[in-house]
Structure 1
């Protein structure tokens, strides 16, 4: 009887004129384009060592192929979220897809590392839109209580794309060449465009006002300065942590952030609603999202480097080695999503997830050239389980705190902290690796002969990454559990 009542409540929470069949097609459209974007984002993981060798890249450039995408993703996400509350989410979704499509072509034809990084930056703008709008559209057609299940689907989709990305990248590098890794996303993008255009129906809920472009520009520049500082500080070829260059970057970034806060507090339609961060749940979830993001964005790239350069595996074999991380993510997101929808409780899953994720990361800090593969794969499975139990659920609980007219900004806010945390984490880990392998160029390493320097340096890098996940343990414990709404 209770299940029937829940089903009727869920049916009644659908937008006017929308049936369960419409909902199914809408979710399918969202997942299709989300999958295409995530595959293209992760396809570069196993290709990066080969790309760096062919284009003569440095260790810093290696990490910035990933960091540039994350920077653009993070800084553009609040803009997409704000636009989602002002105009058609479906149209914006298509615009983001076109940007992603064109930048994929640009990355595939890149003649050098600088051009590749620039193309990946533009690609990050499209990815920021696709990620933020997927969450905002979901929140516009599904109630928070029902959304737990669908959030699990998105998490599963992300896990599958994370798995297929490195595998497709490895197979493509070993057969067609690394440039085709970027072209892989092109047909997926076209298919997603057609599918979304034909099937997606989402209500347009507009809030009046103009976009705060000045605030957006301040956020992009300040974020960029912080990431550049995190990437270059402490490396011998650039500047020390305690230097006038560091002081300059930090001072400029802090001044711009202060101006940004002032602007956002005065304008009528800010990019980021600062008062959202006053809410305890939103603030803690934002910090937690930034803390765990290193596992999603930073780990795969450096795992590819560890398995290929440090252990001498091929790109395809390296892609297969990342599967346990993805499998754990898949299980964690699907199982917890289903349990949240069934019972309405969520805190136990994010607390449990943060504990086992950090434990797995500290275990990974012990890996080196001679670590048995089964042990490494077990650690990756544990990390994946912990991450999958948190990522989408943190987004869900924040969406539960705002009305549907603000869900775009709320989704974008958490997505911003998640992606910026991942970008910052990747920059830090790239700097750590650069310090560990100083004097050894990625372009000069013979991948067929394992490099003990790279293998052992990975353990130190993962120790730093493990410490970066500890704030999530604390914040998840402090979040107060509230009931999930059964209406949109």
Structure 2
């Protein structure tokens, strides 16, 4: 009689997931990540239409974007800590559910105010998915083997980044769909992801006494939100030296100072302060902040450069960023495969940091007439550098921390990268606004049009670009072209800070056990 087939053991029984189990589980996680990223980027090209139809203001336009960013950034460390305490599978499902509910509600919104509220709910779910995907991957796969799986992750992130704005433009331009489908489109994908995660994600539930630091979570979320509101709206809706500015900055700093006191005393802190005793975690955090400022800030204004300085449509502007996306995807997958094969990782971090500095430095030389072929090469170099750094910074931290801190450490790096990105958009935006205003004033003076002292030369700018005579339109385009180059120079300096931090990280041999196996080994040793 032939032997009966042996049933496939679960991860909870063996402490190790087989490759088929990993691939099945990763499919569900990537579907969830694709849904979240696609739904986040799809709105960018639809926002002008949405604000017009709902009769919103420019301030509300800003808040539709800011609400999601605030909620996702502030909630990231909280999701990460919860992943160390509760079922990761349940948390992923909750995050998908929250994101889906926010998407449906946003699609049904009848005013900009309610849309902003539901976008914040979307951001809460997005923060969970952003951190939980990397945490689950770390639990399933050992650091040594993780590189071979970074290709699909990078591909999903790259495709969603490019496809989102293109799909958003198509939906808005299709009369029988309308902008509400920008929010509804992701719902079927989210439902499929929820089903796949339920059937394939087989992770053990931690069985120990749980004490959730509710006060610390509230203080961290409140402090981060206050500071992000201050940085995002400062210089736009209130002056930097105004009472509102000082109040927001002081309130945010006070809440975070109280959070540090609380985190030092509670048994299960949201962000364990002991993580920052580790040199790798500290330097990776510094590098993440710098690269977040450079990457997010630079990417936001790259689209503006293509549309304003070069005159391309939103769809074409999205396609012109493909060299950067392709470079990121190839370098992320390639460096991951080589790390898995040879077990060395620091060289790729250093190489990625160097390429990032070079890429931003070359972009700092562009004007409104730079060759598009040359510009594409610069973007490919920048994308290649970013691809080597983003995943591997998290890998370096995950390789050094205890398995019980895996979620908190992973989300901390992601949190500071997102925080840096938010600050970068605001700071680099302020630099660009000043540069553009000064350059327009000088351009107008050169043709005999004097701008009064304290006058708003930017009034002859973006808002009236299509109505300007050719000579003035050329001045505006030139101002945006050269002004964008200036912010890329700033981004290159920040990239250099990230490179210096990476150089200081000590290379530690990669663990050959997954987070699940390390956790099981510790539990058995404690018995």
What's the TM-score, normalizing by structure 2? 0.82
Q: How far does residue 270 in structure 1 lie from its aligned partner after superposition?
A: 0.7
- The structure-2 alpha-carbon separation of the partners of 1:59 and 1:387, relative to structure 1 and needing over 3 Å to count, comes to farther
Task: Choose the corresponding residue for 1:476, options 499, 502, 508.
Answer: 502
Aligned partner of 2:194 in structure 1 is 193
Aligned partner of 1:238 in structure 2 is 238
Asked if the contact 2:294/2:494 (under 8 Å) is kept, the reply is no
- The structure-2 alpha-carbon separation of the partners of 1:315 and 1:95, relative to structure 1 and needing over 3 Å to count, comes to same
- Which is further off, 468-477 or 344-353? 468-477
Distance of 1:393 and 1:387 partners within structure 2? 10
SS at match of 1:266: coil
Q: How far does residue 51 in structure 1 lie from its aligned partner after superposition?
A: 4.8
Aligned partner of 2:378 in structure 1 is 379
Q: List aligned pairs for 1:172-211, cutoff 5 A.
A: 172-175=171-174, 176-211=177-212
What's the TM-score, normalizing by structure 1? 0.89
Q: How far does residue 454 in structure 1 lie from its aligned partner after superposition?
A: 4.2
C-alpha RMSD over aligned residues: 2.8
SS at match of 1:271: coil
Aligned partner of 1:3 in structure 2 is none
- The structure-2 alpha-carbon separation of the partners of 1:298 and 1:181, relative to structure 1 and needing over 3 Å to count, comes to farther
Matched, 1:459 2:485: yes
Asked if the contact 1:230/1:431 (under 8 Å) is kept, the reply is no
- The structure-2 alpha-carbon separation of the partners of 1:33 and 1:62, relative to structure 1 and needing over 3 Å to count, comes to same
Q: List aligned pairs for 1:238-317, cutoff 5 A.
A: 238-240=238-240, 242-294=241-293, 296-317=295-316
- The structure-2 alpha-carbon separation of the partners of 1:471 and 1:252, relative to structure 1 and needing over 3 Å to count, comes to same
SS at match of 1:210: coil
SS at match of 2:193: helix
Give deviations 1:248-305, integer Å, cap 9, x for gaps: 3322222222111001001111110011012100011111112112455344433333
SS at match of 1:85: helix
Q: How far does residue 61 in structure 1 lie from its aligned partner after superposition?
A: 5.4
Distance of 1:361 and 1:115 partners within structure 2? 39
Give deviations 1:168-215, integer Å, cap 9, x for gaps: 223333334444323222222122112111222122234422211211
Distance of 1:54 and 1:464 partners within structure 2? 37
- Which is further off, 380-389 or 399-408? 399-408
Q: How far does residue 90 in structure 1 lie from its aligned partner after superposition?
A: 0.7
- Which is further off, 291-300 or 135-144? 291-300
Matched, 1:213 2:214: yes
Distance of 1:468 and 1:92 partners within structure 2? 35
Q: How far does residue 338 in structure 1 lie from its aligned partner after superposition?
A: 0.5
- Which is further off, 60-69 or 360-369? 60-69
Segments of structure 2 that go 5 or more residues without pairing to the other structure are: 1-10, 438-457, 515-527
Q: How far does residue 146 in structure 1 lie from its aligned partner after superposition?
A: 0.7
Distance of 2:302 and 2:428 partners within structure 1? 12
Asked if the contact 1:215/1:263 (under 8 Å) is kept, the reply is yes
- The structure-2 alpha-carbon separation of the partners of 1:207 and 1:13, relative to structure 1 and needing over 3 Å to count, comes to closer
Q: How far does residue 327 in structure 1 lie from its aligned partner after superposition?
A: 0.7
Aligned partner of 1:128 in structure 2 is 127
Q: How far does residue 443 in structure 1 lie from its aligned partner after superposition?
A: 6.2
Asked if the contact 2:12/2:203 (under 8 Å) is kept, the reply is no
Q: List aligned pairs for 1:97-112, cutoff 5 A.
A: 97-111=96-110
Structure of greater relative contact order (alpha carbons < 8 Å, 6+ residues apart): 1
Asked if the contact 1:77/1:132 (under 8 Å) is kept, the reply is yes
Aligned partner of 2:80 in structure 1 is 81
Q: How far does residue 445 in structure 1 lie from its aligned partner after superposition?
A: 5.4
Bigger-Rg structure (1/2): 2
Aligned partner of 1:419 in structure 2 is 418
Aligned partner of 2:228 in structure 1 is 227
Aligned partner of 1:148 in structure 2 is 147
Distance of 2:58 and 2:354 partners within structure 1? 31
SS at match of 1:168: helix
Asked if the contact 1:212/1:271 (under 8 Å) is kept, the reply is yes
Segments of structure 1 that go 5 or more residues without pairing to the other structure are: 1-11
- The structure-2 alpha-carbon separation of the partners of 1:480 and 1:157, relative to structure 1 and needing over 3 Å to count, comes to same
- The structure-2 alpha-carbon separation of the partners of 1:309 and 1:377, relative to structure 1 and needing over 3 Å to count, comes to same
Q: How far does residue 60 in structure 1 lie from its aligned partner after superposition?
A: 6.2
Asked if the contact 1:45/1:301 (under 8 Å) is kept, the reply is no
Aligned partner of 1:394 in structure 2 is 393
Q: How far does residue 337 in structure 1 lie from its aligned partner after superposition?
A: 0.5
Count residues with an aligned counterpart. 475
